[in-house]
Every structure is written in C-alpha cells, then in structure tokens.
A and B are shown apart, each in its own frame.
Chain A
Amino acid sequence: MRSSTVLRWMLAALGVVFALSVVQELARPETTDLVSSGTAESTLRRAVPILLAGLGGIWAERAGVVNIGLEGMMVLGTWFGAWGALEFGPWWGLVIGIAGGATGGLLHAVATVNFGVDHIISGVAVNLIAPALTRFLSGEVFVNRPGGGLTQSPRVESVGSLDVPFLAGGDLFGWTTPDLFGWITDRGWFLASDVAAVLGGITRSISWATLLALILVPASVFILWRTAFGLRVRASGEHPVAADSLGVSVYRMKFAAVVVSGGLAGFGGAFIAIEQTGIYRENQVQGRGFIGLATVIFGNWQPVGAFLGSLLFGFADALQLRDRTAVHALLLLVGVALAALTVRALLRKQTRLALMLTASSVAVLWWYAVTEEVVSELPPITPHVATLLVLVFAAGRLRPPASVGLPYRRGQE
C-alpha cells in the first residue's frame, strides 16, 4: 500500500471519529458510550468473527466458488474450537477450530470442485450437516462433563491478551510503561480524547487471537495479489479455462482456496467460542457466516473492504449490547450524514437522488426526535439491510470475479 493511501485511510478514520464525537456532544447526557474505549474494544472483538468469515468468503469467491456454507463451517469452528481448548488449551483450540472449519471447506470443495455440484446447494448441505454433527458430538463428549451438556460445553479459557507498551500502558520486561492513550482520554479534550479513547480501546488488552485475525487481512491481500499462487487462484475464478490452458491446475487452486475459506470460517467460529464467550453454545454463530458473506459484497471482494464492513457491523453489534441509547444517538449521525450526501448530490445536480436523500434524512431525524430508543431488533440486522442497500443502489460499482458460482469441468468449455 502506498503511503498516500495509508494517509487517506487515516484521515477517513479520523473523520469518522470526529463525526461520532460531535454526535456524542450533541447527545450528551443521553449517552456517553458512542465513542469510548469500551465501545472500540467491543467493536473490534465483535468484528473479528465477521471479518474472518468475510475473508473466508473472499478466498472462496476469488477462486470462483460461492460459499454459503460459511455459516456451517463457523459452527464446526465453534465446536471444535471449544473442544480443542478444553482438551489441549486455548491455542490448540484455535488450531483445532480452524481444522474443523477446514474440514467443512473440504466437504464443500469435494462436492463443488470434484463432483460439480451447484455451489449454493452444496453450501446449504454443509449448513445442514454442521449443526447436526456438533449436536451429536456434544452428546458424546460434553454431556458427561461438569458444566457441559447437549447444547453447550464447559467453560473454556481464552488465549492471552496484550497491552501495547507506551500506548496503552503494557509491560515491557517487567516494567509498566506509561499509558499514553489513557492519559489523553482522561483529559477530556474534545476529539483528541475521543481519538485516544478509541485507540486505547483497541490497544489495551487486545487478544492475541484478534491480532492474528487482523494480520490475516494484509496477509490475504499479499497472498492473493502478490504471489504466483494468488494469481493462479484469482485466474481460476476469473477464467478457469484460460488458467487451465496455461497449465494451472484449476481444481487444485479452487480446492485449496475453498479449504482455506473453511479454515478462516473455522477460525471465526473458534474465536466466538474461545475469545468472545468462553464457552461453546449451540446456535452461537447466529448467522454470522451470512453476515460475513454480506461483507464480501459490501467490501467489493477486497479484504480491506471486508474489514471495513466487519468494523461497521461490529460497531452496530457492540453499541446494541452496551448502550441502547447510544444506538438512538446514532440515528442523529445517520440523519446528518444523509443530509451531507444530499448536499453532495445537489452539487452534482443529481436531483432525483437528492430528493430521495432529503426524504430519508428527514425521516431518520424525525425518528430520532420522536423516539427514546431504537427498536432492539433493529441493530442486529444492520448488516443485512446495509448489504441490501449496497446491492440495490451501488451494484454497478461492484466487481465480482467473472466466473464466480459457475461450475467448472476440465475439458468442457
């Protein structure tokens, strides 16, 4: 990534925090949680499983295989993650969770790549098998343990976490470094303290597993766009016949990508069980595989895009759990943002768009004014609604891989 791009992203992030700070000021004392280190920390933690599912989706779809089995693969990840953590400790839990998800990916790969089964159908089948299998295994393994049962495991330990030295007051060779972000946060300066709070939230007691997940974003970009293997994977999703004609083993590429996809989803599942909740519980994935799929589209099949999408969805999730009034305050932000877009549309002379935006803006602000709280069912479906809106209004700007979803058989064009 070029430094100018990095700068642009940083400015954009700053802009978001700024907007949130303003709304926070406006909405005080109704809520104080819109920008806080707790919200930032929670956002990141809730974003990780979605991010991992999204990356999983990108890997599969870049190779041309639609993977709606992500949900089931995450389910496998939760169970195997918890089991592994119980038996061998949390780190092994992650590894075994990844392996569990990858096994789901393997199943999907065999069906779609080797047998040419429709991708959607195979994905649905994986989603049907995974919960059945985990329920069965729970009955075999967890039932006889203290705290365990047919639908849940005993509690499991999480992997360690880290306070970044100097920034968040972490220890360095036994010496407790100063907590820079914490110090600024406590000053109560407008914007600066808020920025520090957010940064503090994501640098203080950050789980090693979270770090690992975050590293997978640039790692995916690097592998898919910089290495020969990545080029071959992408070519298999764009024009498999061309790739095959150049001696690329398309089956192997698709196979590998789908297994990686399952592994990433499994990691996401294991993260939920080990890091987020500290327990395996039936249905705890709660559609996050599908939300991951949404971030694939939302992020235009780019890992960084999926990351942004997962942050957005993680934010909605985090606020909902922490402070409902904060969600309500967010309406104000959405209303103002829509108004800003109206101005932009007017400047570009897009009259119809401007009219629509004005109407939505007024509606949202009115909603803010006449209600005390946002209906609690709403925030959890933000990802779904947002994805639909993107597809409805911005589909032209999306670039899915050219051959995604099409069955490929060697020797048949």
Chain B
Amino acid sequence: MSTPSLTTTAPAVELSGITKRFPGVVANDRVDLRVAEGEIHAVVGENGAGKSTLMKILYGMQAADEGTMTVGGAEVRFSSPSEAIDAGIGMVHQHFMLADQLTVLENVVLGAEPTRRGTIDRRSARRDLEELGRSYGLDLDPDDPVETLEVGERQRVEIIKVLYRGAKVLILDEPTAVLVPQEVEELFKNLRELKARGHTIIFIDHKLEEVLAIADAITVLRQGRTVATVEPSGVTAHQLAEMMVGSDLPTPSTEPRADDEYVTLAIRGLSVPATEGRPALEAVDLEVRRGEIVGVAGVEGNGQGVLVETILGLRQAADGNIALDGESIVDWTVRRRREAGLGYVPEDRQRRGLLLDAPLWENAMLGHQTAAPYTNGPWINRRGARDATTHIVADFDVRTPGIDTTARALSGGNQQKLVLGREMAAEPRMLIAAHPTRGIDVGAQASVWADLREARADGLAVLLVSADLEELIGLADRLLVMLRGRIVAELDPATTTPMQLGGYMTGASGEEGAS
C-alpha cells in the first residue's frame, strides 16, 4: 500500500460541486472528487450513493446540472463520451459494452477506426492491439468473435478498448462484481501495471477489502454527497463501512432455529442439460426444512439460476425429482407449483417479477391471479385485489403515491418490497428468493432481511440464493456451495468466513465438501 502522491502538480481529475438531478431525486449533491495523477483512487458508497452517476458525468454520458470539472488542470465540459475520450478519459463499464457478433478487433477500434483509403486498416489495428496486449500483459486474439470469450477475457477487451484510445485516466465501474477472487487478483496485477506506466485509475467498488488492498486514496459517497477522502492506511474496513452507511452497520443475523425435521422441499438427483453454454445442473440433492433458510452460494452462472428456474418449473429437468410437502411436483406446470405454495422473489425483479407499465394492484396479483382475493373463478375481483394491495403496501412499507401508480415509477427498493410483500401475503409454503437485496438501498435491505427472518420464525422454508456472502452467512441456517452445476460443499455459516466461502466457490478448496 502506497500513500497518495503529494506532488504539487495539478490533479489528473478534479470535480467540484457536481450536482445532478433526476425527476424527483438528486443523484449527486455538490460532490467533490480530486484524483492525483498516477494514483489508484477508489470511490466507494452504497448502491444508490451516486457513484455511477458521478462517473457517467465524468465520462460525458450525462451532463451535470451544476459544478465544474478539470482534467490535467484545464476546465472541461463533456457533452458526449467522445469528448471525454479525446480528453484522455476511458471507462470500463460494469455491464460489458461489447457487441457479441463482432470480433475483438472490431469492438476495440469501433469509434476510433484507423482508416486507409476509406477502409478500416485492419493490419495496423491488429499490430497496435497486439502491442498493447504485450506491454500490459493483456493477452487476446484480435480475430476472436467476442461471443466466444470468457468473462475475464471480456474485461480485458474492455480495458484494451480504453487504452487503445490513449486514455490516461481509466474509470472502472465495479470491475470485480463479475469476477471470481482469482480473476480479481489477475485484474489487480493489470491495474498495478497500468499505474506503473503512469495511468491514473478511478475505481468504483463497494467491496471494502478489495478497496483497501488496491487503492492509494478512497473517496466515500453517501446519498449523493461526498463524505470524505481518506488514505487506506489510516482507516479500517469497519470505519469505511460506517462512513458509507452513516450509522451503525445493519448486519443480517438470525436466532437459532427451532428443531423441526419436517422437510418442505426435497430435491433428489436433479439434472438439467446444458444450453447456451451455461453450466446446467448435475445430480443436485438438497432439502429445505420447515422454518429453515438454506443459503446457496456460488459464482454467478454456476447453476444457481438454473436451479431456481427448475424448481419453479421454468425449465424442465432431465432427471431427478423435486418434492414439495412430500409430493412430486416435477411434472407440474409453473401455475400448479405456485398454487401449491411456491413463492418466488426473482433475481431480476424488473424482468421476472413486475409488469412495469401496469398499476401496482395488478402487479400485486401477478403470480397469484388464480386465487382469492384477487380473482373469483374466471373473474377478476377488482375490489378484493385492490384491498389486498393496499394492505401489502402498508404492511411492507412500499412508498408509493397510490396503488394505481405504475410499478415503473417506484424505486428499486420499493419495487422489491412490493414483490416480497405480495409473495408473503400469499402465505407460501416455500419461498425461493434469488438475490433479494440486490441493487436496493440499505433501508430496504434491512426490511427485506427482517421480513425473511419473521417468515422463517413462522415456519416458512426459504431457499436463498445470493452473491452477497455476508447476507448468506448472516441469514442462512445452512450453506450450500454450487460450482459448475453441482453442489460441492455444505457449510455451517456459524463457522464460515467469506474468504473460506470464496475458496469453495472457485473450487480452490476441494470438491468433497466440509459437512
């Protein structure tokens, strides 16, 4: 860990008094950020703290309403990314910005194509690419179509894209979110290499251990404002976390569960053939008992999504059995499974859980439209549905102007509270919750945790899939780890640390499990 450079030269990037308003919200409120040349500067903050908005402003994707920016001492004002690129700023997006059907080379040169007699000069582009790859240790074949690349490789394409444009300042938006710990190490090596060659790096993250390991300076944002800029040597992860949240950290925790051996959900030898190259499921066994939360950990794409979809009936199993309350449901339709008491909080609530352009009361009946109070035989019971929705909104603290508001208008946290509320209101036997706190604010997160705990105490069986290891360890009674479509370990959360869990998730800690 090095200290920030205290030279007297102008900072590489300086933002002052940046304010950005969206309809009804202030995403950035007089934010200041000063990044010295040649340092790795981390910007941390909760989801919704305004980090991404700030970076989009710096990269010219959005315009600030107020405030000034200087790059290398000169004041700038970007109205498009190309102006930021011209000023030597590059951005590696969290969701890769790559066209799958185009080659690595085409993706890299796009927008900055070297031309020769009117055509793209592929030869010189390939030469430049290979040279960049060599000097930064970013190894890639320029002619591969991007669709054939792995996640880590795609990220390297993104970084090369930025370097190819001669960026001196690199913005990386949560670059580690999609990587396994080993890939993170690889990335950090690349970043140090970049720094050694004089690049300035702005690094957005909320994983504090990572930040402390790599950053030279850390700026904390909270609710759209700058809280402080600190040196990593002078601060602990806990202090950082408190600065981010502004109060004591809520940590999920559960009381020991009552002794109840009744098995609500039993899965035996479940296999799903692979499609689209994703690892599917191979001989998965698992049980969830009444009043138990079983956590499923795993690096994204190792079969957790398939498991959830197969239990719900969105995918067909090739082999094996799924039993709910002792009855095999493997041949049932989705509707029958849901009617039998299977609740579902989807991983992507906007895609799988909501009708964004429908009013809240129609969203509340989604998934429960075959039962009272929402319907009466083949007829919709409008009054019943509206009353039920009013109750959900009140009981689960969904902040909305009314139940006729469309779901799209609500914030992520309120949307999630609505989804969880409607599932709970239907009094399920079994709840499948995938990433229930992803992308929502701290307050909503705490309320989701509280709801899950309460339901567990009432005897609900919960299968909790999450990428938030703290959440898994805090909430689950038992932890399962998935790797390449198989369950590779069963762990006791009481004695497991996130680091250990990470080891199992990547296959570094052996496959035989620790149960």
Q: Answer whether A and B are interacting partners.
A: yes
- A interface residue numbers (CB < 8 A to B): 222, 226-228, 231-232, 234-235, 238-239, 241-249, 399, 401-402, 411, 413
Interface residues of B: mostly helix, strand, loop or mixed? loop
- Beta-carbon nearest neighbor of A246 in chain B: B111
Report the minimal beta-carbon distance from A302 to chain B, rounded to whole angstroms. Answer: 12
Pick from A227, A241, A247: contact of B80, CB below 8 A: A247
Pick from A231, A248, A402, A411: contact of B62, CB below 8 A: A411
A411 touches B99 (CB 8 A): no
A234 touches B102 (CB 8 A): yes
Given known contacts A226-B119, A231-B120, is B61 in contact with A245 (CB within 8 Å)?
yes
For B81, list chain A residues within 8 Å (CB): 244-247
- Beta-carbon nearest neighbor of B56 in chain A: A411
A401 touches B111 (CB 8 A): no
A239 touches B99 (CB 8 A): yes
- Distance between Cα atoms of A30 and B100 in the complex (Å): 53
Question: For the complex, is B93 an interface residue (Cβ under 8 Å from A)?
Answer: yes
- Distance between Cα atoms of A244 and B119 in the complex (Å): 21
Given known contacts A246-B111, A399-B101, is B120 in contact with A228 (CB within 8 Å)?
yes
Question: For the complex, is B110 an interface residue (Cβ under 8 Å from A)?
Answer: yes
For B324, list chain A residues within 8 Å (CB): none
Closest 6 pairs (CB-CB, A-B): A247-B82, A246-B111, A242-B97, A238-B99, A228-B113, A239-B99
- Distance between Cα atoms of A231 and B83 in the complex (Å): 20
- Distance between Cα atoms of A234 and B91 in the complex (Å): 22
- Distance between Cα atoms of A367 and B279 in the complex (Å): 49
Pick from B93, B100, B102, B106: contact of A245, CB below 8 A: B93
- Beta-carbon nearest neighbor of A239 in chain B: B99
B97 touches A227 (CB 8 A): no
Report the minimal beta-carbon distance from A64 to chain B, rounded to whole angstroms. Answer: 11
For B401, list chain A residues within 8 Å (CB): none
Given known contacts A226-B120, A245-B93, is B99 in contact with A235 (CB within 8 Å)?
yes
Question: For the complex, is B217 an interface residue (Cβ under 8 Å from A)?
Answer: no
Cβ < 8 Å to A, chain B residues 69-113: 80-83, 85, 91, 93, 95-102, 106-107, 109-113
Question: For the complex, is B161 an interface residue (Cβ under 8 Å from A)?
Answer: yes
Question: For the complex, is B115 an interface residue (Cβ under 8 Å from A)?
Answer: yes
- Distance between Cα atoms of A231 and B121 in the complex (Å): 12
A232 touches B111 (CB 8 A): yes
- Distance between Cα atoms of A248 and B107 in the complex (Å): 12
Given known contacts A231-B113, A243-B110, is B102 in contact with A238 (CB within 8 Å)?
yes
For B85, list chain A residues within 8 Å (CB): 246-247
Question: For the complex, is B118 an interface residue (Cβ under 8 Å from A)?
Answer: yes
For B62, list chain A residues within 8 Å (CB): 411
Q: Knowing that A242-B99, A244-B81, A245-B93 are A-B contacts, what are 15 other residue pairs whose CB atoms are under 8 Å apart, sorted by A's residue number?
A: A227-B119, A227-B120, A231-B102, A231-B110, A234-B99, A235-B106, A239-B97, A242-B96, A243-B99, A245-B61, A246-B111, A247-B82, A247-B85, A248-B111, A249-B80
- Beta-carbon nearest neighbor of A410 in chain B: B61
A231 touches B109 (CB 8 A): yes
A238 touches B101 (CB 8 A): yes
B111 touches A239 (CB 8 A): no
- B interface residue numbers (CB < 8 A to A): 59, 61-62, 80-83, 85, 91, 93, 95-102, 106-107, 109-113, 115, 118-120, 161, 165
What are 21 A-B interface contacts by the 8 Å CB criterion? A222-B119, A227-B118, A227-B119, A227-B120, A228-B115, A231-B106, A232-B110, A234-B99, A235-B106, A235-B110, A238-B100, A239-B97, A239-B98, A245-B59, A245-B93, A246-B161, A247-B82, A247-B83, A401-B101, A411-B61, A411-B62
A245 touches B101 (CB 8 A): no
- Distance between Cα atoms of A340 and B97 in the complex (Å): 46
- Distance between Cα atoms of A245 and B112 in the complex (Å): 12
B100 touches A402 (CB 8 A): yes
- Beta-carbon nearest neighbor of B82 in chain A: A247
- Distance between Cα atoms of A95 and B110 in the complex (Å): 33
For B165, list chain A residues within 8 Å (CB): 246
Report the minimal beta-carbon distance from B217 to chain A, rounded to whole angstroms. Answer: 26
For A399, list chain B residues within 8 Å (CB): 101
Report the minimal beta-carbon distance from B161 to chain A, rounded to whole angstroms. Answer: 7
For B110, list chain A residues within 8 Å (CB): 231-232, 235, 242-243, 246, 248
B99 touches A402 (CB 8 A): yes
- Beta-carbon nearest neighbor of B105 in chain A: A231
- Distance between Cα atoms of A239 and B98 in the complex (Å): 7
Given known contacts A228-B113, A246-B81, is B93 in contact with A235 (CB within 8 Å)?
no
For B101, list chain A residues within 8 Å (CB): 238, 399, 401-402
Report the minimal beta-carbon distance from B145 to chain A, rounded to whole angstroms. Answer: 11
Report the minimal beta-carbon distance from A284 to chain B, rounded to whole angstroms. Answer: 37
Report the minimal beta-carbon distance from A240 to chain B, rounded to whole angstroms. Answer: 9
For A245, list chain B residues within 8 Å (CB): 59, 61, 81, 91, 93, 97
Of A241, A245, A399, chain B has the most CB atoms within 10 Å of the CB of A245
Pick from A227, A247, A411: contact of B111, CB below 8 A: A247
- Distance between Cα atoms of A245 and B80 in the complex (Å): 8
B102 touches A235 (CB 8 A): yes
Report the minimal beta-carbon distance from A14 to chain B, rounded to whole angstroms. Answer: 32
- Beta-carbon nearest neighbor of B114 in chain A: A228
Pick from B80, B93, B100, B111: contact of A243, CB below 8 A: B111
For B61, list chain A residues within 8 Å (CB): 244-245, 411
Of B91, B107, B110, chain A has the most CB atoms within 10 Å of the CB of B110
- Beta-carbon nearest neighbor of A400 in chain B: B101
- Beta-carbon nearest neighbor of A241 in chain B: B97
For B115, list chain A residues within 8 Å (CB): 227-228
For A222, list chain B residues within 8 Å (CB): 119
For A246, list chain B residues within 8 Å (CB): 81-82, 85, 97, 110-112, 161, 165
Report the minimal beta-carbon distance from A300 to chain B, rounded to whole angstroms. Answer: 12
- Distance between Cα atoms of A287 and B102 in the complex (Å): 33
- Beta-carbon nearest neighbor of A243 in chain B: B110
For A411, list chain B residues within 8 Å (CB): 61-62
Of B96, B100, B102, B115, chain A has the most CB atoms within 10 Å of the CB of B102
- Distance between Cα atoms of A411 and B120 in the complex (Å): 28
